[in-house]
Amino acid sequence: MNTIGNNFRVSIFGESHGKWVGVTIDGCPAGISLQEADLLPDLERRKAGASGTTPRTESDLPTFASGIFNGHTTGAPITIVFENQNIRSADYSAIRNTPRPGHADFVLTQKHRGYNDYRGGGHSSGRLTVGLVAAGVVAKKILGKINIAATLTEAGGQEDIEAAIALAIAQQDSIGGIVGCIVTNLPVGLGEPFFNSVESVISHVVFSIPAVKGIEFGAGFSSSQMTGSAHNDMIINEEGTTATNNSGGINGGISNGNDITFRVAIKPTSSTPQTQQTWNSESKTVAPFVVKGRHDLCIALRVPVVIEAATAIALADLQLSSSR
Amino acid sequence: MNTIGNNFRVSIFGESHGKWVGVTIDGCPAGISLQEADLLPDLERRKAGASGTTPRTESDLPTFASGIFNGHTTGAPITIVFENQNIRSADYSAIRNTPRPGHADFVLTQKHRGYNDYRGGGHSSGRLTVGLVAAGVVAKKILGKINIAATLTEAGGQEDIEAAIALAIAQQDSIGGIVGCIVTNLPVGLGEPFFNSVESVISHVVFSIPAVKGIEFGAGFSSSQMTGSAHNDMIINEEGTTATNNSGGINGGISNGNDITFRVAIKPTSSTPQTQQTWNSESKTVAPFVVKGRHDLCIALRVPVVIEAATAIALADLQLSSSR
Amino acid sequence: MNTIGNNFRVSIFGESHGKWVGVTIDGCPAGISLQEADLLPDLERRKAGASGTTPRTESDLPTFASGIFNGHTTGAPITIVFENQNIRSADYSAIRNTPRPGHADFVLTQKHRGYNDYRGGGHSSGRLTVGLVAAGVVAKKILGKINIAATLTEAGGQEDIEAAIALAIAQQDSIGGIVGCIVTNLPVGLGEPFFNSVESVISHVVFSIPAVKGIEFGAGFSSSQMTGSAHNDMIINEEGTTATNNSGGINGGISNGNDITFRVAIKPTSSTPQTQQTWNSESKTVAPFVVKGRHDLCIALRVPVVIEAATAIALADLQLSSSR
Amino acid sequence: MNTIGNNFRVSIFGESHGKWVGVTIDGCPAGISLQEADLLPDLERRKAGASGTTPRTESDLPTFASGIFNGHTTGAPITIVFENQNIRSADYSAIRNTPRPGHADFVLTQKHRGYNDYRGGGHSSGRLTVGLVAAGVVAKKILGKINIAATLTEAGGQEDIEAAIALAIAQQDSIGGIVGCIVTNLPVGLGEPFFNSVESVISHVVFSIPAVKGIEFGAGFSSSQMTGSAHNDMIINEEGTTATNNSGGINGGISNGNDITFRVAIKPTSSTPQTQQTWNSESKTVAPFVVKGRHDLCIALRVPVVIEAATAIALADLQLSSSR
C-alpha cells in the first residue's frame, strides 16, 4: 500500500520512467489558499543541479488535476501530477541481469515476479519523492505557525559539507550524510502513548524516504549512555517548558510543547561511479559492473526538504486527528 | 488510536492501576495451536525481579477471553487479559501537582484536560507492554521458521552489563541501554517501496515501546560516513545473498532475504531514585522532588522481549499482507 | 477484521459460549461521564425475556476493564466485558454434522477449516451484539443532542405486532420484521460524496447485525417508482429545511439537516422450532432436523436498540471525523 | 475520505468541471494483463447517449499515468485519468443562490463553507463514477471466473423499460429504477460475521454511487414477511448448495457458495426538466426554478455497470483480504 495517514491521507503513484508521477492528498480542509506556484520553492530545493547532484534535471512543474477551485482547496481530494520528461530508458536495459547493489532491483523483481517497471528503479525511485514534497507543502499550510526546518548537518562524516562534496567528486565515489530537523511552535498533546506516538508516526513517514537508515529523537542513541538524572528534562513552568531537551520534545509519545528535534541518517547514494561487483544472472557469476544512468553523488543534499515534507505530513495527520 | 496493523491487527487497552490490561489480536488465521502456557516464557522474560528491575512484580497470568477453542485459534479475534494485582495507588497521589520529569504526566494531563488516569502513568505505563508481548507470541507463531532475537548489548554505555547495573545501584541513578535485534529466515519481498517499507513498519511499532528514542537499520548512522562503494552489499548468488549486510537486509524498503538487523536506543528509566527538580503547580515554583513508587533502575533489561514482540507484530502484518 | 470506524473505533470480540464477550472503543474523547449503570437501560432493551424471545437470559452486567477513571472516560481505550453465564454447550454438539439452515455453521466451518467455535454460532452469534449496544451507549453520549430512535414497525408482515407474535407462537414458527429508525437534530454536513456517504457508513454497520437483509433511506425502494418532480424535496428556507423528506435527510451522501430516516428488513430467526431438512455430512443425505438450544421466535423484537447502537457508532465516527 | 478497501484500495478524485477525473488503485497484484482498451467496453456501457440519457457525451478515453508496464500491472499503484472535455460551466453560475433540490449543492456549500467547486456538482457529480468503472474493470480481472452481472429490471415502476423511458420523455420528468445484480462462482468463505460482512462491504461501496437509496440481499424486505421455515434455505449437499436462495448467498455475513443476489433502488434523476420550487438565497424566498445543464432523464439506465464495478471492488478487497 502506498498510502499514509488517517485524517490527512497521502497516496503517491508513478514510476521513474513512466508517464507521470504524482500524489493524491485526501482530508485537506476546504478554503486553504493553494496555487501551483506555492509548490515551487520546496520543489526547487529538492531539485538536482547543484554540485554533487544528478545531471538529470526535470522541470518539475506541478499540475493540479483536482481539488482546487478559484485558488483554494475545495475539500475534495487534491491530485497533483508531474510529467516525467528527461528520461533515458535505454540506460537501464541491463538491470534485468545485473541487479545494482544497494538498489531495489533484485527485491522488486522477486516480489513482483519480473513484472515491475525496472527502468530507473521504477516505483522505488527517489523520483517519487516529488509527490511527497508537494504533499508536504499542503501539510505545512495546515500546520500554520508550526515550523519545520531540516538541514544537512554532515556529509561524508564531516561538517564541512562543501569539502565533503569536493572530496567525493575527486574520489568519484558517493557519500551519505546526516539531516537534522527541528519543529517549533508545536502545541502540547499531539500523539498517543502507544501505536501513534509522535516518534512512531514521524519515523514511519521518514523511513519511506529512500536512503534513510536511522532516526533518533532528542539525545537519541546517546541517551543510552546517560543517567536518568542527567537525561530527564526539568520542567520549569506551568506551560511545561523544560530546561534541557534530551527527550526531543516528546514524552510518552506525546508532544510536550518544546521543540521536536531529531536526526536522520542518510546512506551514500547506491549508484556510485565506482566499478562494483554483483551477481550476473546471465553469466551466473559475480562480475564487475558499472552503474549507468545519471545520479547524485550525495543524495543527502536533496533530502532535507523531503524530510520536512515527511514530518509535515505526519504532524498534519496528528493535528487533524486530535483537533476533534 | 491504540491499534496497529492492517491484516494482523493488535489493539492494547488498560491502565497501570486499572482493573485489567490486555490486548485484542484480530486477523490471526484459524488453526494455530495456542494455549495460555505458550505465553509464559516471553512474559517471564519481560517480568521484573532481576537486579536492576522494579520490586513491583505481577503474576502476569494471561486469560483468554475469546478466540481460542480446543487449544487452537478459531479465526475470531483473540482477546487476552491480565489482572492488575500488585497496585499501590496511594504512591501516586502527588503526581497531579508535580509532573515527573521524563514521564507523560504533564502531557497526558494537558491532552485529556485532567481526566486521564494518572496513577502509575495510566495508559502510558510500561505495564501495557504485557499485551504487546502476548501479541508477539501469537505473531511469532504466524511467522513460523522466521526467527527474531533481541538482546541487550550495552547498558549505561558499556558492554559489561552486570557491571553497569552494579554501578547504577551504587550510584542510585537509572541507566539506559542499546538493544540489538536480528531477524533470520525472512523471505525476499516483504515491505513496500514507500509508506510500508520494512523500516517504516518496524520502527512504527518499536517506537510505541516506552523509552525507545532511536533506531537504526544495518550500518545505520555509520552509513552516513561511508562511501557508496564501501556501503553497497555485493550480491553473490541467484538467491540474493550479499557478502556484507550494511543495508540490514532491506533494499528500497523491501526485505532482501538476508538477515534483518537493527539497533534500538533505550533511554534511562525516567523514575530515577535521585532527587530531581520539577515544576510544582501548587507552589508555582520549581521545587525538589523524589519519585515515589517502585521502579526499574534499568528498564532496558526488560525491553528485548518487547522489541521482539514489536518486530514480530510488524512482520506478521507484512507477511499476511503480502501472501495474497 | 472485527473493527469499524476511523476516529471512533469499535472492536468486538467473543463467542457465544466462550468466557467473555466484549467490546473495545477507541477514540472516545476524555471527560465524558460514564458509569456501568449508564449502559443498563439499552442493555435491558436488547435482552431476551419478553414473549417471542429466547428463554436464555443473561444478567448482562458490564464490567469496565479500562478507560474509565473517577466516573469519566480517560481518553484511553474503553474495554467493556460481559461474562457468558447461561451456557448449555451440550445442546450444540450435533452442529458439526448438520449445519443449521440460515445459520453460519456451514460457512464458518469451511472458512476456518473446522477450527471455529461452533457452539451457539460462536463468534457469529447475536450474543456479540451486547458489545455493540454498549458501544452505542458511548456513541450516543458523544452525539449529545442528536437523537436516534428505532422501533419495530412490522412483524411477520403486519403492523399489529402483538398479534404477529401470538400467531408465531401458535404456529411455532419464527418470524421477521421491519425496524424504522429516525435521527433528529443532526447538523448539516456529515458524510462524504462517495465512499463515506452517510448511507454507506450507516449501512456498513447496520449490515453487521445478524438477520439484517435490507436497508432503504427516505423513500427508498419506492423512490424508484417516483418522478423527479415528486421525489425532490423542496428547500424552503436558509437552513435547508425541506418540505418533504424523500431523500431521508441525505443529499449526495451528506446530511442536509433534516431528519435522517431509514428502514431495515429483519429476516425471521433462523432457529425455528419447525422440523427442517438439511444436509447431514455423516449420513451423506438430506435428513430431517430440529434445531436445539433456546431461541427467539422473533429476533426483530430485540433488534431496534442494536440498530440505534449501530447508527450511533456510525454517526459518532462521522462526527469526530468531520469536526476537524 | 475518498478511499475504500483494505487490500484492494480504490481512491477517486476529480470534479465534474475540473481538469481531470480519475482513480488510483492500490494493492493490485503484479502481472495482470491490462491495457487501456480493456476498459472501453465497461466505460461504453456507462456512457450517455441512449434515449433518456444526457446529451453531454465525453470521449472517456482512459490514460494510464502509472502502474502498467509492457501491458501488465507492475504491483505499483495504478492511476488512471480521464480528461473533462465537454464542459459548459456557464450553465452552473446560478447554483450559488438557488440550490437544486435533490442535489448536493446546499450541503456541499455548507460543509465546505462555500469553497467547493459547485460547477456541475463538483466532486459529488456522477461524472466521478467513470473512475469507479475503471477500477471495476481491474477488480473483475482479479476476480477471475467470478462473474458479476447487473441489469436494470424496472424503470419508473414498470418492467417495460422502453415504455417507461418513452413516458418520461413525453412527460418531461425524470424517473428512477431498480437494478438487480447477481454474482456467480463466488467461493465459500468471503466476508466476516460482523463489521466486514459481505452485505456490509457491498452496501458500503454501492451506496457511494449517486442516486442509490436502498439495497436488499436475497429475499430482502420480503424476508420480513416470511416464516423461518419458509425463509431458511435447505442445504442439499456437501458443497453447501441450497435448494432456495432467500439468503442471497450470504449466511452470517459470509458467502455460502451459492449466487449472491441483491437489488438496488435508484431514485429519479434530481435534475428533472420540470419547473421546481427552491429557496433563493438572494431574494430570500421560495421561487420557481428550472435546472440548467444537460442531464439524464433516467440515470438508472447508466447505473448497472457502476453497480457491477462497486461489487467487483468490494469482492476483490474481500478476496485479497481472505486469501492469506
Q: State the Cα–Cα distance between residues C321 and A49, nearest whole angstrom.
A: 43
Q: State the Cα–Cα distance between residues A259 and A245, nearest whole angstrom.
A: 8
Q: Do C320 and A320 touch (CB under 8 A)?
A: no
Question: Considering only alpha carbons, which residue of chain D is nearest residue C222?
Answer: D265
Q: State the Cα–Cα distance between residues A301 and B316, nearest whole angstrom.
A: 35
Whether residue A91 has pLDDT greater than 70: no
Q: State the Cα–Cα distance between residues A272 and A294, nearest whole angstrom.
A: 10
Q: Do D115 and A77 touch (CB under 8 A)?
A: no
What's residue B56's pLDDT?
A: 65
Q: Do A65 and D19 touch (CB under 8 A)?
A: yes
What's residue B323's pLDDT?
A: 55
Q: What residues of chain D, 193 to 212, have a C-beta less than 8 Å from chain B?
A: 193
- What does each C-alpha distance from D198 to B257, C205, C321 come to in angstroms? 37, 12, 25
With b meaning 16 or more CB within 10 Å and e meaning fewer, what string describes D14-51? bbbbbbbbbbbbbbbbbebebeeebbeebbebbbbeee
Whether residue A324 has pLDDT greater than 60: no
> Phi and psi (nearest 5°) for B258?
-85, 170
User: Rounded mean pLDDT of A177-181?
Assistant: 98
Kindly state whether A29 is in contact with chain C, defined as any CB-CB distance less than 8 angstroms: yes
Instruction: Return the SS3 of D134.
Output: helix
Query: Strand B212-217 relative to strand A212-217: parallel, antiparallel, unpaired?
Result: antiparallel
Would you say how long chain B is, in residues?
324
Q: State the Cα–Cα distance between residues C103 and C114, nearest whole angstrom.
A: 15
The residues with which D69 forms a beta bridge, in sequence order, are D72
Whether residue C86 has pLDDT greater than 80: no
Supply the mean pLDDT for chain C.
Answer: 93
- What does each C-alpha distance from A30 to A4, A77, A139, A158, C294 come to in angstroms? 20, 10, 13, 45, 54
Could you tell me if D303 and D311 are in contact, meaning their C-beta atoms sit under 8 angstroms apart? no
pLDDT tens digits, one per residue of C256-271: 999 999 999 999 999 9
| Predicted ipTM of the assembly | 0.96
Whether residue D91 has pLDDT greater than 70: no
What's residue B89's pLDDT?
A: 66
Q: State the Cα–Cα distance between residues A31 and A141, nearest whole angstrom.
A: 11
CATH of residue B29's domain is 3.60.150.10
Cell numbers at residue D120, please? 456541475
What's residue C324's pLDDT?
A: 42
Q: State the Cα–Cα distance between residues C53 and C48, nearest whole angstrom.
A: 5
Partners of D295 on chain C (C-beta within 8 Å) are: none
Q: Which of A39, A12, A44 is nearest to A25 (CA)?
A: A12
Among the partner residues C7, C29, C193, nearest to A321 by beta-carbon distance? C7
Return the ∠ at Cα B97 (arms to B92 and B101), rounded to 5°. 75
Cell numbers at residue D43, please? 466505460
What's residue D56's pLDDT?
A: 66
pLDDT tens digits, one per residue of A136-148: 999 999 999 999 9
Sign of CA pseudo-dihedral D301, D303, D306, D308: negative
Q: State the Cα–Cα distance between residues A134 and A11, nearest whole angstrom.
A: 11
pLDDT tens digits, one per residue of D34-45: 999 999 999 999
Sign of CA pseudo-dihedral C168, C171, C172, C173: negative
Could you tell me if C84 and C19 are in contact, meaning their C-beta atoms sit under 8 angstroms apart? yes
Could you tell me if A18 and D79 are in contact, meaning their C-beta atoms sit under 8 angstroms apart? no
> Which subunits have 3 or more CB–CB pairs within 8 Å of chain B?
A, C, D
Give Cα A15 distance to the centre of its chain: 16
Whether residue C49 has pLDDT greater than 90: no
- What does each C-alpha distance from B199 to A197, A316, B214 come to in angstroms? 16, 21, 12
Return the ∠ at Cα D21 (arms to D16 and D22), rounded to 5°. 150
Q: What residues of chain D, 98 to 127, have a C-beta less than 8 Å from chain C?
A: 99, 101-104, 106-108, 110-111, 121, 123-124
Q: State the Cα–Cα distance between residues C58 and C129, nearest whole angstrom.
A: 13
Question: Residue B324 — pLDDT band, cuts 50, 70, 90?
Answer: very low
Cell numbers at residue D88, please? 459548459
Question: Residue B158 — pLDDT band, cuts 50, 70, 90?
Answer: very high
Whether residue A79 has pLDDT greater than 60: yes
pLDDT tens digits, one per residue of A5-53: 999 999 999 999 999 999 999 999 999 999 999 999 999 999 866 777 7
Supply the mean pLDDT for chain B.
Answer: 93
Q: Do A1 and D65 touch (CB under 8 A)?
A: no
Three-class secondary structure assignment of chain B: CCEECCCCEEEEEECCCCCEEEEEEECCCCCCECCHHHHHHHHHHHCCCCCCCCCCCCCCCCEEEECEECCEECCCCEEEEEECCCCCHHHHHHHHCCCCCCCCHHHHHHHCCCCCCCHHHHHHCHHHHHHHHHHHHHHHHHHCCCEEEEEEEEECCECCHHHHHHHHHHHCCCECEEEEEEEECCCCCCCCCCCCCHHHHHHHHHCCCCCEEEEEECCHHHHHHCEHHHHCCCECCCCCCECCCCCCCEECCEECCCCEEEEEEECCCCCCCCCEEEEECCCCEEEEECCCCCCCCCHHHHCHHHHHHHHHHHHHHHHHHHCC
Share of chain C above pLDDT 90, in %: 83
Cell numbers at residue A114, please? 519480473
> Phi and psi (nearest 5°) for C183?
-115, 120
Q: Which of D318, D315, D317, D308 is nearest to D129 (CA)?
A: D308
Partners of B76 on chain D (C-beta within 8 Å) are: 193
Kindly state whether A61 is in contact with chain D, defined as any CB-CB distance less than 8 angstroms: no
Supply the mean pLDDT for chain D.
Answer: 93
pLDDT tens digits, one per residue of C288-318: 988 877 788 999 999 999 999 999 999 999 9
Whether residue A323 has pLDDT greater than 60: no
Distance from CA of B218 to the nearest CA of D (A): 26
- In angstroms, the first-to-last Cα distance of chain D is 27
> Which subunits have 3 or more CB–CB pairs within 8 Å of chain A?
B, C, D
> Phi and psi (nearest 5°) for B310?
-60, -45
Question: Residue C120 — pLDDT band, cuts 50, 70, 90?
Answer: confident
Tally the domains of chain A.
1
Whether residue A120 has pLDDT greater than 90: no
User: Rounded mean pLDDT of B205-221?
Assistant: 98
What's residue A97's pLDDT?
A: 84
pLDDT tens digits, one per residue of C216-234: 999 999 999 999 999 999 9
Domain housing C78: 3-322
Query: What pTM value is reported for the model?
Result: 0.96
What's residue A62's pLDDT?
A: 96
Whether residue C108 has pLDDT greater than 90: yes
Instruction: Return the SS3 of C75.
Output: coil
Among the partner residues A76, A193, A324, nearest to C324 by beta-carbon distance? A324
Whether residue A320 has pLDDT greater than 50: yes
Distance from CA of A186 to the nearest CA of C (A): 17
Q: How many CB atoms lie within 10 A of CB B323?
A: 11
What's residue D324's pLDDT?
A: 42
> Which subunits have 3 or more CB–CB pairs within 8 Å of chain C?
A, B, D
- What does each C-alpha distance from B94 to B140, B269, B277, B288 come to in angstroms? 41, 19, 14, 13
User: Rounded mean pLDDT of A208-218?
Assistant: 97
- Residue ranges of alpha helices (H) inside C81-239 are 105-111, 129-143, 161-171, 198-206, 228-231
Instruction: Return the SS3 of C283.
Output: coil
Q: What residues of chain A, 254 to 273, have a C-beta less than 8 Å from chain B?
A: 254-256, 265-272
Instruction: Return the SS3 of D68.
Output: strand
Distance from CA of B285 to the nearest CA of C (A): 28
**Cβ-based contacts under 8 A for chains B and D:** 20
Q: Do B107 and A240 touch (CB under 8 A)?
A: yes
Kindly state whether C158 is in contact with chain B, defined as any CB-CB distance less than 8 angstroms: no
